[in-house]
Amino acid sequence: MLDPDATREEELHFRRVDMRAWRRSDGLFELEGRVTDRKPYDFAPWHGDKRFPAGTPVHDMGVRLVYDRDLAIHAVSTFTEAAPYDECPAGGAALQTLVGLRMTSGWSKEVRTRLGGERACTHLMEILIPMATTAFQSLSQVNRGRAERVDANGRPTKIDSCYAYGATRELVRVLWPQFYKKAESQGDT
């Protein structure tokens, strides 16, 4: 059992992940994801000769994706402002394999397959996963009024895509009553 009176004694690490998206003048969209790691104490990686004073970024790197309304990637670029090893900036080169992919179903698996292990920088690969969700969210206003995407049976693909859009939820009952499924009784306990 956890001690309910336990307090935080010492900060060990600080990580910030920021994501921002823009509409571009060429009709495309751009998303930047950035990860920043800091230590609250002077830090030196286990190998190498770099030293990082307390509070300065150990990692400050990111990815820029240019994509269209269908979430297809047109261009990828990476940047490294701070990294523990001189080799780190080259870890973004493999991200070029993402050009042409769509940030839709299967995105996470495809990113891991193409970039996992020693093929790319782990930090850049990790921020790519939530970048797909951010890209999707960035288009919410742009896609307002666009026809709802449906599967081969005419069922909106949003159904069962998250908790709120679960087929047994009130939102589906109101928006698409023909696809609503009454929740099975959990029984008396």
Residue ranges per structural domain of the chain: 14-138, 147-189
Please report the DSSP string for the chain in residue order.
Answer: ---TT--------EEEEEEEEEE-TTS-EEEEEEEEEE-SS-B--SSSS--B-TTSEEEEEEEEEEE-TT-BEEEEEEEEEE-SSTTGGGGGGGGGGGTT-BSSTTHHHHHHHHHTGGGS-HHHHHHHHHHHHHHHHHTTTTTTTSPPPB-TTS-BTTTTSSSTT-TTSHHHHHH-GGG--PPPP----
How does pLDDT run along the chain (189 residues), one tens digit per residue?
Answer: 899 999 999 999 999 999 999 999 999 999 999 999 999 999 999 887 899 999 999 999 999 999 999 999 999 999 999 999 999 999 999 999 999 999 998 999 999 999 999 999 999 999 999 999 999 999 988 877 777 788 898 898 889 888 999 999 999 999 999 999 988 865 555
- The verdict on pTM exceeding 0.85 is no
Fold for 14-138, please state it. Answer: Sufe protein. Chain: A (3.90.1010)
